[in-house]
Amino acid sequence: MNILNILDQIEKVDGEIYERLSPRRSAMKDFFNVGKKISLAALPLAMGSMFQKAYGQTNPASVTEVLSFALALEYLEWNYYNHALTLANGTYIPDGPARQAITTIRNHERAHVDLLKEAVGIKGADQYVYADFDFKAGGTFADVDTNYQTFLKVALAFEDTGVRAYKGQAPILKGMPVLTTALQIHSVEARHAAHLRQMVAANVTGASGLKPWIAYTANGNDTGVTAADAVYAGEQNTTQAGVQITGINGTAVTQSHAAECFDEFLTGSDVKKIANLFIVAGKKLA
């Protein structure tokens, strides 16, 4: 095992590896001193400890803030679905596959709430209840409690926001065990979004062409709901890692394909602005 070669290879990807560890001479001295005391079999553990020092320096306060922020979003989604399923209007969410799907999604969101509460160390009562939300968004979605199509549009906006929100906060959790949990929730939210897109396509007037993924439009919003523009801002991007994907290497990759094959993240501040449209005064995200 050529450890120096391994570190040199890492340095090609992360030029600051030695600065992350400590000054290069000190890092190498520490490493070789450790190497004298351990067996070759134990060497990976020593390497793991060293890399933890390099990449495990996330501020615990930032992690708690991210988890609390994610928890508020999960409360928003859970309360939205749970309330809709309790409405007396039997045709609001039709019986059968539609109601089963919304019930399943509702239950997933409750599991996310409970897990994040545990992660943040919150015991007892929920921090957000239904009365803390205005799902009509000040009248923007005035018929959300009576119109199934409006319900689906808002649900889709919530799920697409959630997917982009988790993606945007992942770098803050880098090097922390909780990143695995966040990514597990993120992938489930993405599945919710894809399923709701199919439900919107099947049930919302004028949306039959909606795809399971976010399709290219000039402003990123492919739902036709202008009130949801902020949810999709930036999704028309066709450049990744500084590389223009359209026509890359002389291929026939179109502008639409280039935008659709990559998802974009939302910053925490952007997500809070979207979420606060549905949260009452006094409970809004700071």
DSSP secondary structure of 219-258: TS--SS-GGGHHHHTTTT--EETTEE-TTGGG----HHHH
What is the tens place of the pLDDT at every residue in 104-160?
Answer: 999 999 999 999 998 888 888 999 999 999 999 999 999 999 999 999 999 999 999
Q: Assess if residue 222 is contained within a domain.
A: no
Confirm if 74 and 112 have CB atoms less than 8 A apart.
yes
The last residue of one of the domains, among 14, 31, 55, is: 55
Could you tell me which residues are beta bridge partners of residue 244?
A: 239
Residue 104 in any domain: the answer is yes
State the residue range of the domain holding 51: 3-55
| % of the chain beyond a pLDDT of 70 | 78
Q: Is pLDDT above 70 for 80?
A: yes
Each residue of 210-222: pLDDT tens digit? 999 999 999 999 9
CB count in 10 Å sphere of residue 135: 21
Asked whether residue 94 is assigned to any structural domain, the reply reads: yes
| pLDDT over 50 (residue 273) | yes
Q: How many other C-beta atoms can be found within 10 angstroms of the C-beta atom of residue 284? A: 15
Count how many domains the chain has: 2
Say if 204 falls within a structural domain.
Answer: yes
